[in-house]
Structure 1
Amino acid sequence: MAASQKLLYSSVVVIIIGVFTKLWLFGAIVRFGIKDQVSLKKSNEVRAVYLKLPFPLNFKLYFFNVTNPQEIQNGEKPIVNEVGPYWYDEFKEKVDVVDNETEDSLTYTPYDLYQFNQNKSGSLRDDDYITIIHPVIVGMVNIVMKNSPVFLSIVNQSLEAIFNNPKTIFFTGRVKDLLFDGIDLNCTSSGFAPKAICSQLKTQIPGIKYRQDNENIYLFSMLGPRNASHNKRLKVLRGISYSKELGRLIEVDGEKEVSFWSTSKCNSFDGTDGWIFPPLLAADEGLKSYSTDLCRNMKVNYVNDTVYKKIHVRYYETNLGDQSTNAEEKCYCPSEDICLKKGVFDMTKCMGVPLYATLPHFLYTDESYIEQLTGLRPDPSKHSLGVLFEPMTGTPLFAAKRMQFNYDLNPTTKVALFSKLPSLLFPIFWLEESIDLEGDLLKKLQTIFLLLFLADIFLYLLILFGVCCLAMAIYFRFKNRNAIAITSVTEARSYENPGFLNNDMKRSNKKAGFTEKMENINHALTGHEFDRY
């Protein structure tokens, strides 16, 4: 009876401990450990990875090669053919790092380095020739047409000298020159129009360089200013004091907000720097970040749960919104009177260059853009902007930032090369900057979830063991309660006739007294006393 009672109490204690640990204690310990380890403390491994990625990102470029440039010059519908990917390894590092313990912040300057990867590019080479619309000619005309159309005649006069008497608005040249090394802008002319335009190009084109053998020949490249150079200085929160604040951007170049947009909400920073996210996020919170390339906040929305590389993850996706119908995005309209159609974003205010961003192949944009030219085939599986995100640790297992860059092409009679052009949003190229977690970092993440799974199994087994013991204790307790007690005859007589026990005790006492007396008599009649008697 006592043994079954002990088993009962012990099993109840085991069950309570198992359930309590499973429902609260284990989760609390795990959450505390994760919050501590993913913060940007100097002792944490995640900080070292955040400051310098131990592997290069995949940076791929696809050009829209123009196959009928002369026909377009005469007003016909453009035909383009995608050429790519030209694959580059992108090495990312954060330098000049400064910690502020009081503010719990970290300030850094991004440093990026691009290297062409011939193996992954396959048969494509960076000295391939492609034909695209001339980024400087079209960009320059667009800026003047928008801001100071009265000076279009000066632009028209300068084209022959600066661009060596161009016959079309298109450029044919090597990939590496267009992207990084630079294409020539001949500013050696002493004429008024070329000199005036060149002075504007020098001050307004970001990162423009010049040839070492001739400072009057400028070099324009689309990505050169980003390569092996320091960019905007950013300040983020480290998430040590409060994990939900991990990575939140609070300053860009010392400013707590931008001034490009029409509302304070759109000018404020809302989210992280895009390279780290807080742990334990709910699905409906989404992933918020600020894009320094677009100078605007972005939110990637939850789509569904899935499994990637044996880890349960969430898939998030986003697009560039719709200024024409979404009231929250009206602040990004180019002006109060003009809002772009669905899926298009004007980068002019942010970049200083009249570029328009869309998803590749005009995915999720208004259908009118796709109908303006031939050769585009939007595909969500190839062209969407998505993230596979592990929410417990805040780790992206796969992320692909895909963006297409376009020029707004419009005819004008004040510039000869533009007199017969069709009106359309003309794509130049699109890029994909992606990360696919592999190697030691992936193995460590898989090990963490394997250990959590084993710990979970152990708790279930502990609870099951307690339930089994409880069942055994209850079984033995009922078994003992229904058992029949058997006693000896003597014990039964003792309980039934107490007088019987008293008579026996009396006879035993009398016998003991007679024996004692005989012993005394024997002792008294010994020796000479017996002879005398």
Structure 2
Amino acid sequence: MLGKHSKLFFFISFCALIVAIVLASWGFPKIVKRQVQKNVQIENSSKMFEKWRKLPMPLTFKVYVFNISNPEEVSEGEKPRLQEIGPYVYKEYREKTVLGYGENDTIKYTLKKSFVFDAQASGTLSEHDELTVINLTYMGVILTVNGMMPAILGSVNKALEIFFGNNLTDPFMRVKVKDLLFDGIFLNCEADNSALSLVCGTLRAKRPTTMRLADDGKGYYFSMFGHWNNTPLGPFDMVRGTENVYELGHIVGYKDRRTMKEWGDPYCGMINGSDSSIFPPIDENNVPQKLYTYDPDICRSLSVDLMGKRSIFNMSAYYYELTETALASKSVNPSNKCFCRKNWSGSHDGCLLMGVLNLMPCQGAPALISLPHFYLASEEVREYIYYGLSPDKEKHKSFIYLDPVTGVVMKGAQRIQFNIELRNMGNLPQLAKVRTGIFPLLWFDEGAEITESIKEELRHSHTLLGYVETVRWTILVIAFAAALISGVALARSGAVPHCRRNNSINFITRPSKPTSLSKH
């Protein structure tokens, strides 16, 4: 009777062990993955959808402007002395409008940003502050014309005096912060001047995004970020993650294009990564070494590199950081060679300087981007400035902390600086004596940190996941222990027949029986 029960107990516990092994190695991970996918996929019923559609908290948009302390001396050939003024702080709200759903599990949407000045966070600074900065529009037009039709440069330079309201004695401008950033600086096109007509006609044909046509059609308004404010961007085509959660957030198209043709190269024209608002969960067995984000304002994707696991808000997260390879010269990162354009500088081809990217192919204007204070850029770039640059990794790096369970960005910052080349041109009075070099205008810090309510949601998710892991391995241990105990009980019950053992020593040493021999 005991043997019969022992056999049944062993059979049941052995089957339970097999089931526990399957659940631990495949079942529980599958269940968790499906539940995570259900919550984070871009679907009306998911918890993530409304947070993705309308960001539940504003981003913090900080702007630092480089005020020129010695403009007269710079015009005479001295090195610039800069004073960083800021931050001018804005609250940045983001909202998406869903336009429809496409094939291959995609969703089409537009993104609208809106900016509101935060006077309290800006402290003593005001949007009405007047600063002296490099005239990015003037240098942009001059460099563009010089590259295309240098013979008419002199007449265009004369026309630009009318364009800027007869206030063009040097390559700098005195401007209110609100006009520089969002409201716009008026540029006059109303005059009987053929060169001015050429400049304004070119703007009409191919207007940079930083230029807004005046309501009366008699000129333009230039601002750095006015085109971002309350203007739908897109449309984007993005993978929803309902079929493969690890493809969630991947941008596969922008303005119905699958590649960006501005760079004239298939590699540099690839659209990779997300729009930075959403990332897929991280498979702990296949942690990506790079994360890509696509930025239409620079017509390319940028990558951040995995730095390892870090603790933030008492939770574990993967930490990624923008490294020098992203904006490296072609000698350091050969893949960047297709982002080069000749003649952007008086002494370089656009690829020899570390940490600088020419936006001419993208924006139609020779603006240059870098990291703030030329962090991770060539020392040669910083040497042009006499005073006012202090690269600091903690202040000027771009990074994200990513929750591995949901792919939520727990904290992140994108920091970009806008520059323009100030080039010596002996035939133009404004540029006859200046030194040639890259001149910074401003940089912004676009940052976000999840709210306390989202932190609590994540902690709750991590806690539940911890419980699931505990149950998963507890069941396996119990099943293994039960199988072990039942096996011992079965052996002791005698229900399993013992195998006779041959004692090899006895077999060898015991006397042999006499062998009878047949006689023939």
When the two structures are superposed, what TM-score results if normalisation uses the length of structure 2?
Answer: 0.84
**Does the CA contact (< 8 Å) of 2:277 and 2:409 recur in 1?**
no
Which residue does 1:305 correspond to in 2?
Answer: 309
Post-superposition shift, 1:201? 4.0
Match in the other structure for 1:422: 435
Question: What amino acid is aligned across from residue 105 of structure 1 in structure 2?
Answer: T
Q: 1:478 to 1:67 in 2, by over 3 A?
A: same
Matches within 5 A, 1:251-270: 251-270=253-272
Matched to 2:341, the amino acid is P
Helix, strand or coil for the counterpart of 2:273?
coil
1:78 matches 2:80: yes
- Give the secondary structure class of the aligned counterpart of 1:266: coil
Alignment correspondent of 1:209: 212
Residue of structure 1 equivalent to 2:467: 454
**Which amino acid in structure 1 is aligned with residue 146 of structure 2?**
M
Q: CA 1:477 to 1:107, structure 2 compared with 1: closer, same or farther past 3 Å?
A: closer
CA separation of 1:207 and 1:459: change in aligned 2, threshold 3 A: closer
- Work out which of the residue numbers 354, 368, 379 in structure 2 matches 1:367: 379
**Cα offset, 1:242, TM superposition:** 2.5
| One-letter code aligned to 1:209 | R
Q: Measure the CA separation in 2 of the matches of 1:463 and 1:218.
A: 71
Match among 401, 410, 429 for residue 423 of structure 2: 410
Identity rate, percent: 29
Instruction: Please identify, of 452-461 and 358-367, the stretch whose mean Cα deviation from structure 2 is larger.
Output: 452-461
What residue is the counterpart of 2:273 in the other structure?
Answer: 271
Q: Letter of the aligned partner of 1:334 in structure 2?
A: R
SS in 1 for 2:464: helix
Question: Could you tell me which residue of structure 2 aligns to residue 341 of structure 1?
Answer: 353
Match of 2:516 in 1: none
One-letter amino acid of the counterpart of residue 337, structure 2:
K
Q: Do structure 1's residue 436 and structure 2's residue 437 form an aligned pair?
A: no
**Counterpart check, 1:322 vs 2:328:** yes
Greater Cα shift, 8-17 or 203-212: 8-17
Closer/same/farther in 2, CA of residues 474 and 258 from structure 1, 3 Å limit:
closer
Task: Quote the residue 2:414 is aligned against.
Answer: 401
User: Mean Cα displacement is larger for which, 270-279 or 386-395?
Assistant: 270-279
Deviations 1:13-68 (A, max 9, x none): 66655554333321121112222332212221212222221211111111111111
**Aligned partners of 1:14 and 1:462 also within 8 Å:** no
Q: TM-score, normalised by structure 1?
A: 0.82
In 2, Cα distance between equivalents of 1:467 and 1:243: 33
Contact 2:57-2:451 within 8 A present in 1 as well: no
Contact 1:358 1:404 in 2 (8 A): yes
* Contact 1:244–1:279, Cα closer than 8 Å, also in 2: yes
Change over 3 Å in CA distance of 1:266–1:209 after alignment to 2 = closer
Q: Radius of gyration: which is bigger?
A: 1
How many aligned positions are there? 479
Structure 1 residue aligned with 2:393, among 374, 380, 386?
380
Once the two structures are superposed, the pairs formed by residues 109-258 of structure 1 within 5 Å of their partners are 109-163=110-164, 164-203=166-205, 204-206=207-209, 208-209=211-212, 215-258=217-260
Query: Using the alignment, how far apart are the partners of 1:464 and 1:240 within structure 2?
Result: 34
Per-residue Cα deviation, 1:344-378 (whole angstroms, up to 9, x for no partner): 11111111121111111111111111111121111
Provide the C-alpha distance between the structure 1 equivalents of 2:427 and 2:464, rounded to a whole number of angstroms: 71
Take 1:465 and 1:105, find their aligned partners in 2: how far apart are those partners? 44
Contact 1:360 1:404 in 2 (8 A): yes
Q: CA deviation at 1:195?
A: 3.9
Distance in 1 separating the partners of 2:112 and 2:192: 38
Instruction: Describe how 1:288-303 pairs up with structure 2 within 5 A.
Output: 288-303=292-307
Secondary structure of residue in 2 paired with 1:232:
strand
Aligned equivalents of 2:233 and 2:479: distance in 1? Answer: 60
SS of equivalent residue, structure 2 residue 268: helix
Contact 1:126 1:174 in 2 (8 A): yes
Q: Which residue of 2 aligns with 1:526?
A: none
Matching residue's letter, 1:302: L
5+ residue gaps in structure 1? Answer: 482-533
Deviations along 1:196-234, whole A, 9 cap, x unmatched?
Answer: 43343444343533555x653532211112211122321
Aligned to 1:500: none
**Which AA in structure 1 matches 2:465?**
L
Indicate the SS of the match to 1:422: coil
